[in-house]
Structure formats: C-alpha cells, structure tokens
Structure 1
Amino acid sequence: MSRISQQTADVNAAIDAELQLLDPAVRTSRALAARLLDPKFAVAQAGRGDRLADVLPPGHARPGRRRVT
C-alpha cells in the first residue's frame, strides 16, 4: 500500500470511529466506547481533567440517557 493510500485509510478509520461515537448505543456502552478511545484519553472540562475510566458511562446505563455528574 502506498503512503498516500495508508494515510487515506487511516483518516477514513478515524472518521468511522468518530461517527460511531455519535451513536447513543456506543456512548452509553462502556465496552463499546472503550474500544474506540485510547486508554490515555482525557477530557478537560472547566479546568479539570478526567481519566477515561471516569468519563465512560457505567455498564448499566440505558441508551438515550446521559449520565449527569
């Protein structure tokens, strides 16, 4: 595979993963979201950082429901 083709494939894979993260079923599933996010992923909100384990929804969350913290 050429370098350009590999870069295109990588970009397409990233876009696909981003689109999957928009799916409520993925966003409320700890297992599915963890499969798509890097373990070192962190979210910064209001000047604080959260680890991936802190921001993923609990396993019992229902689709369409958002965890409020």
Structure 2
Amino acid sequence: MTVETIIRELDKLPLTEKILVIERTLKSIRTEKQKSLKTAVDTLYEDYKNDKDLIAFTQLDNEPFYETRALMHG
C-alpha cells in the first residue's frame, strides 16, 4: 500500500477513527525508536567497555571548569 493510498483512505474516515490511527501510529513510532536506541546503546556500551581510548577524557570529569570568553571590541 502506498502513502497516497493510505492518505486517501484516511480522508474517508470519521474524525475519531483518524485520531485512533494517529495514536496507534505514534505508539508504533515510539516503540520502534526505543528499540533502535536500545540497540545503539547496547552496541556502544561494548565499545566503551572494551576500548579505553573512547573514555580517556572522562578522567577530566572531576576537574574544575573555567570558561574563557573573548572580549569583543568595536
């Protein structure tokens, strides 16, 4: 089924059913996004756990931070 076909069919539905379709679609998108993020986290976790070069800068986490700002003249 094409997107255009789906949209044409949606136009035929009453408002309450359109809202139901939107709600279920959003739920499906959220679920798919969560699965994708979990896969990415699991993959990256192994990388960070096994490659100490990836976490080298975390040693600086407890260091004080001093922001410097360039002075604007003009």
- Name the TM-score, length of structure 1 as normaliser: 0.37
Structure in which a larger fraction of residues adopt helix: 2
- Structure (1/2) with the larger strand percentage: 1
Higher-Rg member (1/2): 2
Greater RCO (CA < 8 Å, at least 6 residues apart): 1
TM-score, structure 2 length as denominator? 0.35
